[in-house]
Structure 1
Amino acid sequence: MNQIETYLLPMALSVGMKLLGAIALWVGGRFVIGLLQKAVRRALVLNPMDPTIKMWIGAIISIGLNIFLVIAILNVFGIETTSLAALVAAAGLAIGAAWSGLLANFAAGVFLILFKPFKVGDVVTVNGITGTVLEIGVFSTTLNSTEHVRTIIGNNAVSTAIIQNYSANPYRAVEMRAQLPATLEPDSAITLLRATLLAIPNVCAEPAPTLEVIEFSEAGPKLIVRPFCHHDHYWQVIYDSQKAIAKAFSQAGLPQPLITLVPKTA
């Protein structure tokens, strides 16, 4: 009993004091972390930053503060944290090597959020897929394709691909070619085509449609026909242009030109 009193009671007292200190440090640390998180959230709310970046910053700060708190509690118990830090670093390297693809997608997601090559709602072509952007996530970007198929692309593939954003500019061109009969005089055909295109709903008056002879051949002159419109009206202008041109030439008693579209993805 004397030995127990001599060795175990001081040890139990020491462990108990350390345990109480760790509990007090945990409670106080969590309270301080909560205050810091609230302060960071208030600062981020006032900052005109993308909501996704705000969420990432808040999560990273929270994780970092909790890691420091755990290390401080381990120090209270006298546990050497240098080797623990080395172990965490080694584990981080191993996880990073195993998840290199995910980390690349995460870094690319940060790039997409910061530099904004497109935003939710834009119509884009990315990695050969054309569609409307539904979501720019942490690891992937989600499109609703022109065939109404939800398509998910890794952010790394998005950031390294050629991106065509059809919604970024106020208007775009509808590319067509008009093969005129050899008997048809091109200037009169251009005058008729210009008036016809400007009468089509949603065709821009400024810039005016482009109509020029780009080739002469035995079949007759070939024209470039390029009206401009907002992307939302792109397909409507394509359909209406061909019907309007056929009707205008028929009413004028002129032979019909052969209209072909320059292939577009959206």
Structure 2
Amino acid sequence: MTVDLSKIDLIVDTYLIPFGLKLMAAAAIWVAGGFVIRGVIAGVNRAMAAKAVDPTMIRYLDSFLRVALRIGLLLAMLGVLGVETTSFAALLAAAGVAIGAAWAGLLANFAAGVFLVILRPFKVGDAVMAAGVSGIVKEIGLFGCTIETGDGVRVTVGNNKIFSDSIFNYSVNPTRRVDLSCQLAHGVDVARAMEALRAAITAVPNVVTEPKPVVEILSFNVNGTLLAVRPSCANEHYWQVYFDGNKKIAEVALRENWPVPEQHSVVRQVSP
């Protein structure tokens, strides 16, 4: 049995050599494109860092650029190999729609994360209450935020849940009001009590002088007069002022010898 070398040469010249050249060109594009992508991303990151862009935004753009440029590089390789990229792009779009339907919740969290970074209702290090969780923001991620609560628990909350709920940021303003109260018994001189409490609460460490501490009548109840005692401080001193303020109120009550608040009832006997 003889082998027709001319046919083999024809197959090699017609198919194998052109395909090998295309394969080498595609490999070269992949390697060179990888270097270009890394250079572009590094340059963009340096530019954003120089402009003091939020680190979370840098991570978002970094991830987006890596995926987008890799997809573009893959399409370029397929074009060199002779693959019809239009049908591949349509297949990729269909896959994207299917994945989006399956991962609707994750995509909603991702979209909400983008808005959190753009609108910046809070940043890493802020004291917030978001989606019912109160604490210090440790990380703003692609799909969720990590908040460390006051009792030392790290909670990860989905970005969509945060963005769709009310967000309380305690670190935006320089001071925060501390709401305390003091229940006076019947018969206590209210004006004198207010003056004593105002002087005592002003002396609490880290209470600011502006805005001035407020001591006013909040309401009247069956036990007597209820006073509102409201000093202000920086957010990081909130609980120290809260506890020290209550101690000062107790000290003033003991020093002034105020009676224990109690309900007073009047009983009248009506003759038939």
Task: Pick the TM interval, shorter chain.
Answer: 0.7 to 0.9
Structure 1 residue 256: Cα displacement: 5.4
Partner of 1:174: 178
Question: Given the alignment of the two structures, is residue 118 of structure 1 paired with residue 113 of structure 2, yes or no?
Answer: no
Q: Take 1:94 and 1:198, find their aligned partners in 2: how far apart are those partners?
A: 63
Q: Take 1:217 and 1:4, find their aligned partners in 2: how far apart are those partners?
A: 106
Q: Is the alpha carbon distance of 1:133 and 1:35 closer, same or farther for their aligned partners in structure 2, counting shifts above 3 Å?
A: closer
Q: Is the alpha carbon distance of 1:256 and 1:43 closer, same or farther for their aligned partners in structure 2, counting shifts above 3 Å?
A: same
Q: Is the alpha carbon distance of 1:256 and 1:244 closer, same or farther for their aligned partners in structure 2, counting shifts above 3 Å?
A: farther
Partner of 2:112: 108
Q: Take 2:254 and 2:192, find their aligned partners in 1: how far apart are those partners?
A: 14
- 1:129-168 equivalent positions in 2, closer than 5 A: 129-168=133-172
Question: Given the alignment of the two structures, is residue 96 of structure 1 paired with residue 100 of structure 2, yes or no?
Answer: yes
Report if aligned partners of 2:110, 2:142 keep a CA contact under 8 Å in 1. yes
Matched-pair identity in %: 44
Q: Take 1:9 and 1:20, find their aligned partners in 2: how far apart are those partners?
A: 16
Amino acid at match of 1:165: N
Aligned residues between the structures: 258
Question: Given the alignment of the two structures, is residue 229 of structure 1 paired with residue 229 of structure 2, yes or no?
Answer: no
Deviations 1:183-209 (A, max 9, x none): 122111111111111122222222111
Which ranges of structure 1 fall in alignment gaps of 5 or more residues?
259-266
More deviation, 35-44/141-150: 35-44
- 1:40-59 equivalent positions in 2, closer than 5 A: 40-59=44-63
Which ranges of structure 2 fall in alignment gaps of 5 or more residues?
263-272
Structure 1 residue 55: Cα displacement: 2.5
Partner of 2:77: 73
Q: Give me the CA root mean square deviation.
A: 2.3
Amino acid at match of 1:201: P
Q: Take 1:14 and 1:240, find their aligned partners in 2: how far apart are those partners?
A: 83
More deviation, 93-102/47-56: 47-56
Structure 1 residue 11: Cα displacement: 2.5
More deviation, 11-20/149-158: 11-20
Report if aligned partners of 2:180, 2:246 keep a CA contact under 8 Å in 1. no
Secondary structure class of the residue paired with 1:110: helix
Amino acid at match of 1:82: T
